[in-house]
Structure 1
Amino acid sequence: MSNEDTLRETLDGSIPIAAVLGLRDSDGVDWTRLRGLQLATVARHARIRMAAHIVLGLVTVWTFFGSVSLASLALWFGVLCVVHIRGGLADFRLIDAERRRVTMTEFRRPLITPIGSAITWSVATLAFAPSAGMAEQVILWSSLAVLIAASILFYSAAPMGVFIFASVVGAASIVNFTIQGHPEMVLLVTAMVATALAGSIEIARTTLSSRMAESRVREKEEVVSLLLREFEENEADWLWQIDTARRLRAVSPRFAFALGRQQAEAEGRPLFELIGGKNWESGDLPPSLHDLIERIKAQENFSNLLVKVSIRGEQRWWELSGTPIRDKNGNFGGFRGVGSDVTEQRESSEKIAYLAKFDTLTSLPNRVQVNEALGEALRYSEQWKTTCAFLMIDLDRFKAVNDSLGHQVGDKLLAQVSERLQSIMGENQLCGRLGGDEFAVVIRDASNKKVVSEVANKVITLLSKPYRVDDQTLHVGASVGSAIGPRDGSTVEELMRNADLALYRAKDNGRGGHFGYVPSLHASAEERRQLELSLREALEREELTLQFQPVVNAQDSSIVSFEALSRWNSEEHGFVSPTKFIPIAEDTRLIVPIGKWVMRKACTEARNWPEHVKVNVNVSPEQLLEEDFAEDVVNCLAQTGLRPERLEIEVTESIFLRDASIARAALEQVLALGCQVALDDFGTGYSSLGYIRRLRFSTIKVDRTFVKGAAQNNAESLAIIRAVVAMAQSLDMSTTAEGAETAEEVELIRKLGCDKIQGYYFGRPMTATDARRLFRDPQELRRA
């Protein structure tokens, strides 16, 4: 039987007699606590008990005065006073026993008083009564009867005292009346004592059960009060309560602070008037606030209800939970609940949601949102038997701007391009940025055959006009490739691929023009095929090389790692940009052997560096999803002799788009080896929070677009970098800021709390020989 069950039986009045008397403890109950309650009850009656014995002692002295010597009476009365005064003083010290635990020895110690008292009164019965008349004996017994009856109350919680006193004085009276030859008095005394003993047991049970119940209620109240006080002091939430008139009651300090008012000022004021703001009178309130009002009107429970409120003219977001207050008859008495201010969390969530769907540099929809819009357009076309269109836009001569004037100027140019694109978008048209200098337009309804060419020509004309950036006039053009859905493709991927083919043809035709997809464009992919053939032999011909870009500690600018970057110098095609051959390698799965070569070559070169310097190796989704990827890492480390903690695998968010479970399992195996994993290009195309929650990355790399935006004092970029740094710190991850090109950007990155920095300011991608030179001459780091 559990302690709760045993205690419930105890409170129901089934305490064993031996346990009530204190002769033993019953199982399953904390009797050290019960004994304390018993002694505390005894202590409360100490004064009355002491006074009763002394008063009746005086009555006895007066009764036997003349028939008993004065010396004997004085001695007897003195002993009686000493016994009860000493006992009373001892009992006074037990008044706090209910708040502590009492041992059996301590519980039995107060029995000295009833024992001494019983002996003292027995002396009067056996020594004084025989020499007096029957009237005096009846008075003495009457006094004893009063004391026995009163003892039932005096020792109501601890009846052992009653047992001792009643049994001893009862036995003495029976002996006296037997000697005197009064059998009727013997029977009367016997009945009186038996009744007193039985009654004391039942009263003790009832009293003890009542005291236990009171103690439990008080303990629960104290616990609840403690929890509420701790809740108010240590939690961000607060308690709220309103009456039937929806006026605030029992306003806590934390709730008053949330309301922007003093407690006395808020008490009794209408809740909705305080949180409705200036529009309260007109009734023009946010839908969420209307929802709260309706729920309270309907007297419904609600939980985690997000409500937009106005506090002193400032818009805030609260999360409220509430339940109706009802009395025992079910009458409604108001509402009470808990609430919290979640404004910062909501703003952070909105920023993350914005980051997932919008490009932070241009504020245009990003690739994710463009894909969704194109998918919706295809579904609309299929449903209504119309056509849609997808236009892919690439800026001409943009790379020259970046190379000559720097990425900062290039980013400002992209921002102006986005503004121009937005200005010409009509109904059912959406423009977005796919990445870099690539933009796209989705036309939901292209049933008018002229609309595609009209939009394309507007784009080319408008984007080809001069730009003014930092007191410089820039000229870039635009090429456009388009595809009609579902004619040129019934899926998002197919339509985008064919528009991309059309864009390549437009650029091949001399740039600055528009080309619509035609099936013959697939033939123009021959060059791509030739590149693929050459790429297949590139490893055997040793045409691939590695370059290394330093990553430095943000605080002291010391080198902490190098990122390994692959380069291809083809005998047939010359230098081929990574942006051109890497996609081909990924599409043809040549990236798998190339990736293995890069990892092995990078690890081998890292053996020539100081032991604290790591090497960062980019891994594509195709390579990561190989079944033996983790085994390849093990073999590479074994062959090169590089310690696992010096290898950091870099992946992008795209690895999770195909088979997240396999990718996560592979990375977890790599982490188990002791290697580290970095998340590259964070937030530029997909929402990464879910992946970060499921996989503990070692490093988060902040994309250069955020760094550039922060350097331009862009509030969104600054907020995002701060959010990423705070999140990484809370998850025990490091952060690397990419794209630092100026001293000002480096200083800003340091202030924002990033751990590491990578960018042209500390070095462009370099050969292995140049990378080694940096360790011999750290000053080369600035000149690299």
Structure 2
Amino acid sequence: MTSKAASHFANTRIDARALLGLSDPSDRDWGQIRAAQIDAANNSALLRFAVNVVAASLLALLFTPTLPGWVVGGWMAAMLGAQLVIVLKRIARRREHARNASPAEIRGPVIEAVVLALIWSIPPLGLASIATPEQMLGLWVILSTIMTASAIAFAGVPLATVCFLGVLGLSICVTLGFSEQPVLLVAAVTFIGALIYGCLLRGHSLATMCVDEIAIEERDETVSLLLREFEDHGADWLWEIDSARRVVHASPRFAHALQLAASDINGKPILQLLAGDTWEAGNFSAGLRAFAEKLKSREAFRDILLPVKVAGEERWWELSASPRIDERGNFLGLRGVGSDVTEARQSADKINRMARFDTLTGLPNRLMIHETLARAMSEADKWGSRSAFFMIDLDRFKAVNDTLGHPVGDRLLSRVSERLAQIMSENELCGRLGGDEFAVVVRDASDSTRLEMLAHRIIETLSRPYEVDQHTLYIGASVGVAVAPRDGRTAETLIRSADLALYRSKDAGGGVFHAYEPQLHVQAEERRMLEISLRQALKRGEMHLAYQPIVSAEDGSLEGFETLLRWSHPEMGPISPVKFIPVAEDARLIAPIGEWVLRTACEEAAKWPSHTRVSVNVSPEQLHDPNFVKTVVSAMANSGLPAHRLELEVTESVFLREGTGAVQVLEQILDLGVRLALDDFGTGYSSLGYLSRTRFSTIKVDRSFVQGASKKVPECLAIIRAVVALAGSLGMATTAEGVEDEAEYEMIRSLGCTKVQGYYFGRPLPTEEARALACRDRGREAA
């Protein structure tokens, strides 16, 4: 019978007909219950035999003076013979230990009960007429005793008891009926009914107890089966220890996990088995110490993770257990489950490494750097010391990526990480933040001289040439340094301070380091506020254009105007383009601002005389946009300005980003008939390749050379002469910027520059004044 069936018995009312053995319900198996009922009858056979023998003997003694000896002897022989057959049969059946019994097997005890009842019915029916009152009283006492004893002994088989009481009770009632004693008849019927009812109740209780025992047995068998299945096929194992923490009943899988025989495990302290070689030295792992504390507490625990040495190999186990308590509440030990989670632990370690280490360089990534910095700052604060954070950015790395491709760039980053790791001591941790940015955490930064030496060493080491894929690469490094707690009391604040210091190093041209200063934060905040205001400047009409005259060096006649952007903030006043143009480029605002400048300049230039040109500065970010050509076409079409009157000024930096399409954009603009001017030539990279690839109409000489030449600096004079000669050979004009007096003007003329621009001929003019100047110049030419 399954545990489900047993549970069904326990929770369902037992049917009376099934209890008596008169029916065999199809929805449940009564075989075990019937077997238990028969076992109860078998177990009480000797008791029934003794009771019947004693009662029969008393009855014989009571009626021997009245009846012939052969009558009493014959009845005694019949009684004793029947009892002997029954008891022998019951004892034989008791040895069989049957687990199931069919409905037919209930008939045996029933027939036996009927036979005994018939034998006991003879005295009341046959002796009532000849017995004395004293003998009748003794007879009723004996019969009452035998019925009560039978009701108790035969309660395991209720149908047999009912039959015995029914047959014997019927004979008694008949006898009392003929004796015309109704009171005694009613008393007898009540007594017999009470015995039958009590017998049925006891039988029901016994059946219920049998159901409960079957359910418990089935549950135990199921648990045992599951445990055997768990031990044979499960990935985990069972373990058990006594109150002294010694292993008892070591399971085969537990022994296999330790790679020891079960006999070598039983009786051994579990801590000694798990500690392995470290047991003698006492150098236990943190997990084993936590496990020992749990054993001391004698309380249940779950998922204790600890390393275990098995045959010289480190394995990771996860243990859970519950206490074993006896019925008196005494602690017997612990019983639990263990599992080998080494593979899961290794996977978790791998995932943790991937989460904290950069896959390209193998260095700690941003997350681990942040965690290390936080711990370093906490330790420094605890001991009243200092810690530091270095922010490192590679100089000219972008040019490597743009010219040689990202695979070469990635290999270069790996070489950089190798060099950086080699110069780290135990006091420092280096890592990669992302892109070409690296960082160093200095745990003890008490010595400022060592910090400075480390910064110089980083720059010097990373600036040495690299050999990558048969390319010799030259890059550099800029470093920003922040020291805690002076420059920040949290990791986030310290990183921001180092970033500001790095920004200053990059502004200084790179290849240097700067320490954080409070003024840098002020400048950063000013820059942030500037960006916020700049985003709304165009909408609020805060920007306007100014136009600086460009004249002929030969006769001073007006050639055109250079368009200059001006910003007047309502609170901060006029803001220099030197401050807000870089902000606009970094914030990606230069494209909409540049488009507005171009359209406005074209609309104004269309109102000037037909020979006057307008020059507009174009940012590299604009030229890297393929749609910029459409913007130029739209500006000229909407304003009606002819293409030859528009000149766009670009700087050498536009050619530094290869593969962006800037050169193709310039070629398309030239095809429109728009002129191009190369601004600030000589101050940047000054590659003659730019001039050969692009059809410039003008080369502009920076004002720094003009001022140097006016002071008779030989190099500046030589550069201007070289630029003039180069431009003349290529059919280009030259414009000298920053001419401020007549002497500089005469010098520029003598050097051969074709056009001049500077305060000597006019400062940047508002729109109306520039328009008036252009019209006056046209009138002078007409005159």
Q: SS where residue 339 of structure 1 aligns?
A: strand
Gaps of 5+ in 2: 60-66, 524-577, 595-620, 632-650, 663-783
Distance of 2:387 and 2:245 partners within structure 1 = 56
Alignment of 1:392-411 (within 5 A): 392-394=392-394, 396=396, 400=400, 407=407
Distance of 1:327 and 1:77 partners within structure 2 = 50
Aligned to 1:214: 213
Q: SS where residue 280 of structure 2 aligns?
A: coil
Distance of 1:120 and 1:380 partners within structure 2 = 97
Distance of 2:381 and 2:661 partners within structure 1 = 34
Distance of 2:186 and 2:378 partners within structure 1 = 106
Alignment of 1:631-710 (within 5 A): none
Distance of 2:79 and 2:331 partners within structure 1 = 68
Q: SS where residue 458 of structure 1 aligns?
A: helix
Q: Check conservation: 2:42, 2:93, Cα contact below 8 A.
A: no
Q: 2:36 aligns with which of 30, 41, 56?
A: 41
Residue 291 and residue 382 in structure 1: after superposition, are their counterparts in 2 closer, same or farther (change >3 A)?
closer
Q: Check conservation: 1:243, 1:334, Cα contact below 8 A.
A: yes
Q: Check conservation: 2:427, 2:443, Cα contact below 8 A.
A: yes
Q: SS where residue 248 of structure 2 aligns?
A: coil
Aligned to 1:727: none
Q: Check conservation: 1:395, 1:438, Cα contact below 8 A.
A: no
Alignment of 1:179-190 (within 5 A): none
Aligned to 2:424: 425
Kindly indicate whether residue 256 of structure 2 is the aligned counterpart of residue 257 of structure 1: yes
How far 1:188 sits from its partner (Å)? 10
Aligned to 2:730: none
Q: Which amino acid aligns with 1:479?
A: A
Q: 2:110 aligns with which of 98, 114, 131?
A: 114
Distance of 2:580 and 2:368 partners within structure 1 = 27
Residue 321 and residue 217 in structure 1: after superposition, are their counterparts in 2 closer, same or farther (change >3 A)?
same
Segment of structure 1 superposing worse, 328-337 or 277-286: 328-337
Alignment of 1:551-700 (within 5 A): 573=654
| TM-score normalized with structure 1 length | 0.51
Aligned to 2:363: 364
Aligned to 1:285: 284
How far 1:292 sits from its partner (Å)? 1.9
Distance of 1:578 and 1:496 partners within structure 2 = 33
Kindly indicate whether residue 477 of structure 2 is the aligned counterpart of residue 482 of structure 1: no
- Structure 1 vs Structure 2 CA RMSD: 6.4
Q: Which amino acid aligns with 2:350?
A: K
Distance of 1:280 and 1:95 partners within structure 2 = 55
Distance of 2:254 and 2:171 partners within structure 1 = 71
Distance of 1:326 and 1:86 partners within structure 2 = 45
Residue 159 and residue 580 in structure 1: after superposition, are their counterparts in 2 closer, same or farther (change >3 A)?
farther
Aligned to 1:343: 342
Gaps of 5+ in 1: 545-569, 582-784
Q: Which amino acid aligns with 1:358?
A: F
Residue 92 and residue 189 in structure 1: after superposition, are their counterparts in 2 closer, same or farther (change >3 A)?
farther
Q: Check conservation: 1:483, 1:502, Cα contact below 8 A.
A: no
How far 1:431 sits from its partner (Å)? 1.9
Aligned to 2:390: 390
How far 1:477 sits from its partner (Å)? 3.6
Distance of 1:204 and 1:225 partners within structure 2 = 31
How far 1:195 sits from its partner (Å)? 6.5
Aligned to 2:724: none
Q: Which amino acid aligns with 2:500?
A: N
Residue 350 and residue 162 in structure 1: after superposition, are their counterparts in 2 closer, same or farther (change >3 A)?
same
Residue 262 and residue 402 in structure 1: after superposition, are their counterparts in 2 closer, same or farther (change >3 A)?
farther
| TM-score normalized with structure 2 length | 0.51
Deviation digits for residues 481-523 of structure 1, max 9, x if unmatched? 42546999983564365355346446xx4x6555678659987
Q: Check conservation: 1:156, 1:203, Cα contact below 8 A.
A: yes
Q: Check conservation: 1:119, 1:168, Cα contact below 8 A.
A: no
Deviation digits for residues 251-277 of structure 1, max 9, x if unmatched? 122222221223333222221222112
Q: Check conservation: 2:120, 2:168, Cα contact below 8 A.
A: no
Structure having the higher Rg: 2
Alignment of 1:150-189 (within 5 A): 151-153=150-152, 155-176=154-175
Distance of 1:196 and 1:289 partners within structure 2 = 67
Distance of 1:333 and 1:378 partners within structure 2 = 50
Residue 307 and residue 16 in structure 1: after superposition, are their counterparts in 2 closer, same or farther (change >3 A)?
closer
Q: Check conservation: 2:399, 2:657, Cα contact below 8 A.
A: no
Residue 129 and residue 323 in structure 1: after superposition, are their counterparts in 2 closer, same or farther (change >3 A)?
closer
Q: SS where residue 155 of structure 2 aligns?
A: coil
Residue 306 and residue 21 in structure 1: after superposition, are their counterparts in 2 closer, same or farther (change >3 A)?
closer
How far 1:458 sits from its partner (Å)? 0.6
Distance of 1:275 and 1:44 partners within structure 2 = 51
Distance of 2:21 and 2:201 partners within structure 1 = 16
Distance of 1:122 and 1:195 partners within structure 2 = 21
Deviation digits for residues 128-183 of structure 1, max 9, x if unmatched? 97599969x99999998897556435532342431232112321244357658999
Distance of 1:114 and 1:141 partners within structure 2 = 24
Residue 45 and residue 83 in structure 1: after superposition, are their counterparts in 2 closer, same or farther (change >3 A)?
same
Distance of 2:271 and 2:378 partners within structure 1 = 45
Q: Check conservation: 1:390, 1:495, Cα contact below 8 A.
A: no
Aligned to 1:240: 239
Distance of 2:481 and 2:450 partners within structure 1 = 12
Q: Which amino acid aligns with 1:495?
A: S
Residue 330 and residue 362 in structure 1: after superposition, are their counterparts in 2 closer, same or farther (change >3 A)?
same
Q: Check conservation: 1:42, 1:155, Cα contact below 8 A.
A: no
Kindly indicate whether residue 269 of structure 2 is the aligned counterpart of residue 270 of structure 1: yes
Q: SS where residue 430 of structure 1 aligns?
A: strand
Segment of structure 1 superposing worse, 191-200 or 164-173: 191-200
Q: SS where residue 351 of structure 1 aligns?
A: helix
Q: Check conservation: 2:392, 2:479, Cα contact below 8 A.
A: yes
Q: SS where residue 284 of structure 2 aligns?
A: coil
Q: SS where residue 151 of structure 2 aligns?
A: helix
How far 1:192 sits from its partner (Å)? 7.3
Distance of 1:476 and 1:268 partners within structure 2 = 70
Residue 65 and residue 363 in structure 1: after superposition, are their counterparts in 2 closer, same or farther (change >3 A)?
farther
Alignment of 1:445-460 (within 5 A): 453-460=452-459
Distance of 1:379 and 1:183 partners within structure 2 = 104
Kindly indicate whether residue 434 of structure 2 is the aligned counterpart of residue 435 of structure 1: yes
How far 1:315 sits from its partner (Å)? 1.5
How many residues of Structure 1 are paired with residues of Structure 2 in the alignment? 531
Q: Which amino acid aligns with 1:390?
A: F
Q: Identity across aligned pairs (percent)?
A: 31
Distance of 2:151 and 2:285 partners within structure 1 = 69
Distance of 1:90 and 1:579 partners within structure 2 = 103
Q: Check conservation: 1:166, 1:193, Cα contact below 8 A.
A: yes
Q: Check conservation: 1:91, 1:110, Cα contact below 8 A.
A: no
Q: Check conservation: 1:374, 1:390, Cα contact below 8 A.
A: no
Residue 315 and residue 410 in structure 1: after superposition, are their counterparts in 2 closer, same or farther (change >3 A)?
farther
Residue 34 and residue 174 in structure 1: after superposition, are their counterparts in 2 closer, same or farther (change >3 A)?
farther
Distance of 1:93 and 1:495 partners within structure 2 = 92
Q: Check conservation: 2:385, 2:444, Cα contact below 8 A.
A: no
Aligned to 2:331: 332
How far 1:307 sits from its partner (Å)? 1.7
Q: Check conservation: 1:394, 1:438, Cα contact below 8 A.
A: yes
Deviation digits for residues 539-567 of structure 1, max 9, x if unmatched? 754889xxxxxxxxxxxxxxxxxxxxxxx
Residue 65 and residue 32 in structure 1: after superposition, are their counterparts in 2 closer, same or farther (change >3 A)?
farther
Q: SS where residue 280 of structure 1 aligns?
A: helix
Distance of 1:285 and 1:460 partners within structure 2 = 45
Distance of 1:402 and 1:42 partners within structure 2 = 95
